[in-house]
Chains A and B, each alone.
Chain A
Amino acid sequence: MDLEVRSVSKRFGATIALDNVNLKIASGTIHSLIGENGAGKSTLGKILSGVYQLDSGEVELAGQAVTIGSPREALSRGITIIAQELSLVPSRNAADNVYLGIEDHAGPWVRRGVIKDRFEELTKTSGITVPNDRPVSALSIGDQQKVEILRALARNAEVIVMDEPTARLSVEETAVLKDVMRSLRDQRKTIIFVSHFLGDVLDVSDAITIMRDGKIIRTSKPSDETHDSLVEAMTGRKAGDAFPAKTPPKSPAPVLEVNGLTRGMQFADISFTVGAGEIVALAGLVGSGRSEVARAIYGADPFDSGEVKLQGSVIKISHPATAIENGIVMIPESRKDQGLILDRSIRENISLPYLKKLSQLLMKRREENSMVAENFAAAGIRALSSEMTVRSLSGGNQQKALFARSLAGHPTLFIADEPTRGVDVGSKRAIYELLADLAQKGMAVLVISSELDEVVGLAHRVIVMQTGRIVAELVGDQISESAVVSAAFSMKQREGLAS
């Protein structure tokens, strides 16, 4: 079933997510959609699978113009999406999840035997196997994803949109998933693969469509592309000049010194330093313990043993409040869940950590206003006024509001966890400049990022983690995407733990 998209546009408020997009996707292929955050690739996937509705244009399926008003309607036409956040019922097993809502039944009674037989038949024909003897919550993310794929197949899906399916998978699981994708293609299914991971994209695709700012840049074969050519097309810049120039740190004196930090199953024996004026990146796969280490330093979570030194003296931090008093600030991983009070004003969000200084019996509104105004400008927030609610801002400006809050603390150590996640291209560059600027002013900066180009483009030093331990430290010329990846994926650590 060939799929064709004609002049499709989609807006969200003032943001144009898709701008007159035309695209053909051939039946029985793996077709990748790539682009930076906000390029429109996920939006396109969601329009095809009925999660969003297009504003204008049309979608043709096997030569017929069709409407896709809801995920249910998409499915009736054979299109479904496997979203980043899986939507399984955690307490039920694989077969129950696969046939949820389409159970075989006799009157009100579910025919469990028939379901089990059909499930076994389905796993045989598709070649996708998952354990069915336990609730899906006990399965790995990779296996849970397979259950979602089986669910799509059980509903006779011909086109499967996969939105960042490898983002939370280990290397081995990614390899398995790619095999599953290839075998589905061989069964004449069409897969639309939305991904950030260019290596996987080059490896598995039959066609690659590159998007930027809601437009399609080009569609090509993987054999005609390289990693750098993709990056260039995605960013519209030569790979490399997306980042401000690195200025070497002035003094080598460490601001932060972490010695033997350990916590339960999450990380062990973590030791590193961050100097004044230095940007250190903590890299590694999601789940390698990067964020957990940062959160422990910041006092968001406790740790079992080890010590944290700030400017030479050991500090005891049991709560983020103590961290802030000591000049440590952190921009958390998820700005919506952990960072912002969305329904309060920009002003209140910026001043929140510093209210003790800004109040006696009552709030000192004048001092608060001047603090807010100063940092609102320093972070380059674009908003009509600081009285607007944070919810009304774009992702990039929300992130800048968090920067403004952190800057207001005049910190000595600045921790930023995924500082550009879900941020548009323009804001991204602005955030990189902010971080580089902080370092230049002599702050110690610790950045955690899943985006390799960011790690390579920003950091003076890269610390690579794997399953809770540091496996490599890269400095200067040693820093490259391939070096980081090979350290993050190296099997050394796993073997070490297994033996």
Chain B
Amino acid sequence: MTVGDTASRSINVKSLLSKYAIVWVTLLVFIFLSSSTDAFLSADNLRNILDQQSVVLIVAAFTTIVLISGGFDVSLGAIYILAPLVALRVQNNINSAWLTLLAGILVGLIAGLLNGVIVAYGRINSFIATLATSFIFFGIAYLVSDGTILRVTDITMREVATTRILGLTSATWIAFVVVAIAWVMLDRTRFGRYIFSVGGNFEAARLAGVRTNRVVVAAFVLAGAGAGLAGTLNSIRSVTAQASDDFSIIFSVIAAVVVGGTSIAGGSGAIWRSVVGVFFIAFIVNGFNLNGVDPVYQRIIQGAVILTAVGADAWSRRDKS
């Protein structure tokens, strides 16, 4: 008995180390920056990081769900651009912050529905399908904005993103709520179980009576809605939006989700992993900025760090099997 006990305990320690590896590494980065860089551990800096990452967290939460379901959505970058343009048109007519956000969410929802239907019922590989719809969404973005810069006409509207509540911005709080919703959905609801089963073994899930196509559509709809919300929140904060805005958020999001340890093969992952992944990358970028590292090198190093993190994870998994 005792031999077995120690054996299982050492396995537990090992699995604690490997299962939460990304957490330990992120903590190490945090501790290292806290001790090496004066400005890092200040309330202002941390509040800023949270505020900047709020939109990334919102997109990452539901991207995680899409990835676990076995899908991939690159069109979230385009939705992130398109949704605020439609939303600002709405704002220009109806001066309500909440209705503007709602409009942005709705656009994302419809775009996600299109993605989901194409992937589930059209049986088109999700990477290719969403690559194609990206072009469509960007095209519509130019149509909606006439290629011009749209502006929020009422500056007070920014408060929906910038109001301080308990020291944090409202955008941060919105992100926390979205992450919590995604977390509960994935971990505590029937839908979450379906997501894991569809991503783990699509045919087995179908034969077990799971309406697999509907689950796939729902995952894309949620991801679209998340990107719509995030894009609109971002544009309200910056008071402008245009079709040629930076859509590279999708790359940061996928990098964060994958660094966190959610498998792009589907069937495994967790919301907390993506949250940790987001902060892992955010801390590193912040550390570079505070230490005045040239942004050109920042990107190169960032890419290398992501490869290392994902590679280490893949390597440790291979070791197990």
Contact = CB atoms under 8 A, between A and B. Distances in A.
Given A321-B211, A348-B193, A363-B190, A340 B268 contact: no
Interface stretch (A20-28, A353-361, A422-430): A353-361
Contacts of B189: 359, 361-363
B205 A352 contact: yes
Given A356-B190, A361-B189, A362-B188, A344 B200 contact: yes
A300 B206 contact: yes
Interface stretch (A55-63, A234-242, A330-338): A330-338
B194 interface: yes
A19 to B, nearest CB: 24
A362 B184 CA distance: 8
Nearest to B197: A341
A338 B207 contact: yes
B209 interface: yes
A352 B200 contact: no
Contact of A341 (B188, B190, B200, B211): B200
Contacts of A300: 206-207
Given A348-B196, A362-B188, A363-B193, A342 B201 contact: yes
Interface residues of A, number: 30
A319 B189 CA distance: 22
A135 B161 CA distance: 62
A254 interface: no
A11 B314 CA distance: 27
A348 B196 CA distance: 10
A344 B211 contact: no
B123 to A, nearest CB: 15
Given A343-B267, A343-B268, A362-B189, A353 B209 contact: yes
Contacts of B184: 362
Given A344-B196, A362-B188, A337 B268 contact: no
Contacts of B210: 321, 352-353
Interface string A84-98: 000000000000000
B99 interface: no
B209 A321 contact: yes
B132 interface: no
B196 A341 contact: yes
A300 B203 CA distance: 10
B290 interface: no
B204 A344 contact: no
A141 B65 CA distance: 41
A332 B197 CA distance: 16
A338 B190 contact: no
A260 B87 CA distance: 57
Contacts of A332: 204, 207
Contacts of A344: 196-197, 200, 267
Contacts of A351: 193
Interface in A354-407: 355-356, 358-359, 361-363, 405
A405 to B, nearest CB: 7
Interface string B207-224: 111110000000000000
Contacts of A82: none
Contacts of A342: 200-201
Among B205, B206, B208, find the residue whose CB has the most chain A CB atoms closer than 10 A. Answer: B208
Contacts of B196: 341, 344, 348
Contacts of A339: 204, 207
A323 interface: yes
Contacts of B204: 332, 337-341
Nearest to A340: B204
A341 B209 contact: no
A284 B201 CA distance: 29
B269 to A, nearest CB: 11
A405 B204 CA distance: 12
Nearest to A330: B207
A36 to B, nearest CB: 26
Contacts of A405: 208
Contacts of B201: 337, 340-342
Interface string B83-112: 000000000000000000000000000000
Interface in B17-66: none
A341 B194 contact: no
A320 interface: yes
Interface string A200-234: 00000000000000000000000000000000000
Nearest to B210: A352
A413 interface: no
Contacts of B194: 355
Given A343-B267, A356-B190, A359-B189, A320 B208 contact: yes
Nearest to A335: B204
B102 to A, nearest CB: 22
A405 B209 CA distance: 11
B209 A320 contact: yes
B209 A324 contact: yes
A343 B203 CA distance: 15
A361 B200 CA distance: 23
Interface in A295-344: 298, 300, 319-321, 323-325, 330, 332, 337-344
B206 A320 contact: yes
Interface string B247-282: 000000000000000000001100000000000000
A339 B211 CA distance: 15
A353 B200 CA distance: 15
Among B189, B190, B206, find the residue whose CB has the most chain A CB atoms closer than 10 A. Answer: B190
A298 B206 CA distance: 11
Nearest to A353: B209
A351 B193 CA distance: 10
Contacts of A363: 188-190, 193
B190 A355 contact: yes
A319 B188 contact: no
Contacts of B197: 341, 344, 348, 352
A340 B196 CA distance: 12
B11 to A, nearest CB: 13
A339 B197 CA distance: 11
A398 B28 CA distance: 41
A220 B189 CA distance: 60
A96 B288 CA distance: 55
Contacts of A337: 201, 203-204
**List of 9 A-B pairs having minimum Cβ-Cβ separation, nearest first:** A341-B200, A321-B209, A353-B209, A355-B190, A359-B190, A324-B209, A352-B208, A362-B188, A353-B208
21 contacts: A300-B207, A319-B211, A320-B206, A320-B209, A323-B209, A330-B207, A337-B201, A337-B203, A337-B204, A338-B207, A339-B204, A339-B207, A340-B204, A341-B196, A342-B201, A343-B200, A348-B193, A348-B196, A352-B208, A359-B189, A362-B184
Given A341-B205, A342-B201, 13 more contacts: A300-B207, A319-B211, A330-B207, A332-B204, A338-B203, A340-B204, A341-B267, A348-B197, A352-B210, A355-B190, A359-B189, A362-B184, A363-B189
